[in-house]
Amino acid sequence: MIRKKRYPILVLGLLILASLACNFPFISSPTPIVFPTPDLTLTALFNPTVTSHPVIFPTQTIPPAWASPTSTQPGQLPSPIPTDTPLPPTATATRTATPTRSYAGPGMRPKFSMNGVYFNTAPTIDASLEDWNLDRYRIEHVVYGKSDHSGTDDLSGRAMVGWDENNLYLGIRVIDKKYVQNASGSNLFKGDSLDILLDTDVPSDFYLGTLNGDDFQLGISPGSPVANDEPEAYLWFPSSIAGGRDQVDIAARSRGDGYIVEAAIPWSVFDVSPYTGQHFGFAFSISDNDNPNQNIQQSMVSYVPIRTLSDPTTWGDLTLVKP
Report d(CA 288, CA 131) in Å as an integer. Answer: 27
Report d(CA 33, CA 107) in Å as an integer. Answer: 69
Cβ atoms < 10 Å from Cβ of 289: 26
Cβ atoms < 10 Å from Cβ of 186: 16
Residue 267 pLDDT grade (very low, low, confident, very high; cuts 50, 70, 90): very high
Average pLDDT of every residue of the chain: 77
Report d(CA 192, CA 283) in Å as an integer. Answer: 17
Query: In this model, does residue 70 exceed pLDDT 70?
Result: no
Helices of type H across the chain: 7-21, 42-45
In this structure, are residues 194 and 173 in contact, taking their beta carbons and an 8 Å threshold? no
The identity of residue 236, as a single letter, is W
Report d(CA 171, CA 251) in Å as an integer. Answer: 10
Over the stretch 269-308, which tens digit does the pLDDT of each residue have?
999 999 999 999 999 999 999 999 999 999 999 999 999 9
Report, as an integer, the average pLDDT of 177-204. Answer: 95
In the chain, pLDDT over 70 holds for what percent of residues?
Answer: 66
DSSP 97-164: ---SS-----S---SSEEEEEEPSSPPP-SS--TT--S--EEE-EEEE-GGG---TTTSEEEEEEEE-
Report, as an integer, the average pLDDT of 225-248. Answer: 92
Over the stretch 116-160, which tens digit does the pLDDT of each residue have?
999 999 999 999 998 998 989 999 999 999 999 999 999 999 999
Residues in the chain: 323
Report, as an integer, the average pLDDT of 37-43. Answer: 34
Cβ atoms < 10 Å from Cβ of 67: 16
Report d(CA 250, CA 168) in Å as an integer. Answer: 12
Per the confidence metrics, is the pTM higher than 0.75?
no
Query: In this model, does residue 65 exceed pLDDT 80?
Result: no
Query: In this model, does residue 72 exceed pLDDT 90?
Result: no
pLDDT at 111: 81
Domains, the chain, with CATH or none: 103-321 (2.60.40.1190)
Report d(CA 236, CA 24) in Å as an integer. Answer: 97
Query: In this model, does residue 33 exceed pLDDT 80?
Result: no
